[in-house]
Homo-oligomer: A and B are copies of this chain.
Amino acid sequence: MTKVIKGGTVVTADRQFTADILIEGEKIAQIGENLTGDEVIDATGAYVIPGGIDPHTHLEMPFMGTTAAETFESGTFAAAAGGTTMLVDFCLPGEDGSLLNAIDDWDRKSKDQICCDISYHMAITGWNETIFDEMEAVVKERGINTFKHFMAYKGALMVEDDEMFASFKRCAELGALPLVHAENGDIVAELQQKYLAEGITGPEGHAYSRPPEVEGEAANRAIMIADAAGTPLYIVHVSCEQAHEAIRRARQKGMRVYGEPLIQHLTLDEGEYFNKDWQYAARRVMSPPFRSKDHQASLWAGLAAGSLQVVATDHAAFTDEQKRMGLDNFTTIPNGTGGLEERMAMLWTTGVETGRLTPEEFVAVTSTNIAKILNIYPLKGGITVGGDADVVVWDPKLSRTVHQSTQKSIIDYNVFEGMEVTASPRYTLSRGDVIWAHGQNSQPQPGRGKFVRRAPFASASKALSKWKSLNSPRKIERNPLNIPSGV
């Protein structure tokens, strides 16, 4: 049975054009005018875009003494409802420290639940020979080409500079891409103690103890280490001008560094933490925290200029009750907010509708760019014959107000509560299946999603390796006569 998406305007990262899209099975079979198929999906008056890819989620993540409430089922269904057809979750090693076991564990949690496709980033939270060895299997056998490094969460996930260097070098060898959470964990820990000691125990202390300079420093450090190790680098949740400046400075030297702002940081500001209602503020606790409005302007400009490439969510949803673990102490409020369902609509509304981004740039930063970075383009991230039919019929007239009561996420609030979005998915297709149809009472289809394998050695990785190898320092050959005979 074939499907044809008819009457829409296709928007890719490259261009806009009028065309129908014919889907055969899981794949896009044809793009053109006047196509026919067994089933017609009406795109009249709408855009037809690649399904969103959110490369930064934490579903059911064990963290800070609890587990993120969003499940793989609820999370992937929320994604679908918002126009996102693939997400990349962070896989954390368990107590045994094994990367491969962790992947097994994540597979076990996810495979019967997921409603759309997923992949994993593997976290490196320590360093030893086993990890060195397992990394190869992670890449070659498990199809994971990204490794995440936490520069914060001291005493838990955090790694030291020499560990990062070793892991980054290993990534370079394997053609994998290192990712970093960039905040100086030492200084965060010190500032947390300082503010607690001053009696600041509320959520505002979370923001105070993670200032932009602390993020900018870590971003800058990770970039230097990646450069020394000879690998591209991807910096997650870039929230501030300081980190963005470090990225721009690196790129201007020819370094290959990518930056990922979150939809939250683009649209919400630090004033949220000063709310007089504790629960309101605690719901917004995430790391890095929201920043002042001038940081938002920096991030927006970066998306248009190309110095930042991807908009993600860092979706890590904790319930009100979970948040209350930190009632007396902001450092024990589980870090994380939602956004999977709202990312696309919020970005369209505040980005495209204001002229900050073109529709093409919207597609690039929500889907295509990350697909290229993850080396899965155009299987994912494009509207391409032969690619997966992960397609969204994006209706720019389907406005709505964000409400917790109507969201798909299972937590009891929404950080975008009450905001108007001007566009929404009319249909979301995942590998040819309609997994979300607006107004048609769509239901989760757990287990239909698949794990997406990703090959190493993306093009930028190969180019950088070539450059590094041509420009590595050379030994000075000295005549033994010019070397003294020793002490």
A residues sitting closer than 8 Å to B (CB atoms) are 13-16, 31-32, 160-162, 165-166, 184, 186-187, 189-191, 195, 198-200, 202, 204, 208, 211, 213-214, 216-217, 220-221, 224-225, 227-228, 245, 248-249, 251-254, 256, 273-274, 276-279, 281, 294, 297-298, 300-302, 304-307, 320-321, 324-325, 327, 352-361, 368, 372, 377-378, 382, 385-386, 459-460, 462-470, 473, 475-476, 478-479, 482-484, 486-487
Q: In whole Å, how far is A471's beta carbon from the nearest beta carbon of chain B? A: 8
Residues of B close to A479: CB separation below 8 A: 276
A248 touches B252 (CB 8 A): yes
Nearest chain B residue, comparing its CB with the CB of A298: B252
B160 touches A484 (CB 8 A): no
A487 touches B324 (CB 8 A): yes
In the complex, the 10 A-B pairs of residues with the closest C-beta atoms, listed nearest first: A355-B466, A355-B467, A306-B306, A251-B305, A161-B186, A254-B301, A217-B224, A208-B473, A162-B186, A358-B459
Residues of B close to A279: CB separation below 8 A: 482, 484
Residues of B close to A385: CB separation below 8 A: 31-32, 385
**Copies of this chain assembled into the complex:** 4
Q: In whole Å, how far is A177's beta carbon from the nearest beta carbon of chain B? A: 14
- Chain A: interface secondary structure? helix
- Roughly how many angstroms separate A245 CA and B220 CA in the complex, as a whole number? 13
Residues of B close to A386: CB separation below 8 A: 32
Residues of B close to A324: CB separation below 8 A: 484, 486-487
B357 touches A463 (CB 8 A): yes
Nearest chain B residue, comparing its CB with the CB of A360: B459
Residues of B close to A483: CB separation below 8 A: 278, 327
- Roughly how many angstroms separate A15 CA and B353 CA in the complex, as a whole number? 30
User: With contacts A160-B186, A200-B475, A217-B221 known, what are 10 further pairs, Cβ within 8 A?
Assistant: A14-B382, A184-B221, A204-B475, A211-B228, A214-B228, A245-B249, A251-B307, A278-B482, A324-B486, A355-B462
Nearest chain B residue, comparing its CB with the CB of A300: B254
- Roughly how many angstroms separate A162 CA and B48 CA in the complex, as a whole number? 43
Nearest chain B residue, comparing its CB with the CB of A200: B475
Q: In whole Å, how far is A302's beta carbon from the nearest beta carbon of chain B? A: 7
**Residue A327 contacts which of B160, B253, B302, B486 (CB distance < 8 angstroms)?**
B486
- Roughly how many angstroms separate A225 CA and B184 CA in the complex, as a whole number? 10
B377 touches A465 (CB 8 A): no
A228 touches B487 (CB 8 A): no
- Roughly how many angstroms separate A166 CA and B187 CA in the complex, as a whole number? 10
B356 touches A463 (CB 8 A): yes
- Roughly how many angstroms separate A245 CA and B249 CA in the complex, as a whole number? 10
Residues of B close to A368: CB separation below 8 A: 14
- Roughly how many angstroms separate A301 CA and B255 CA in the complex, as a whole number? 8
Contact A217-B214, Cβ < 8 Å, known A165-B187, A202-B478, A482-B278: no
B253 touches A301 (CB 8 A): yes
A199 touches B475 (CB 8 A): yes
**Residue A304 contacts which of B227, B256, B355 (CB distance < 8 angstroms)?**
B256
Residues of B close to A274: CB separation below 8 A: 476
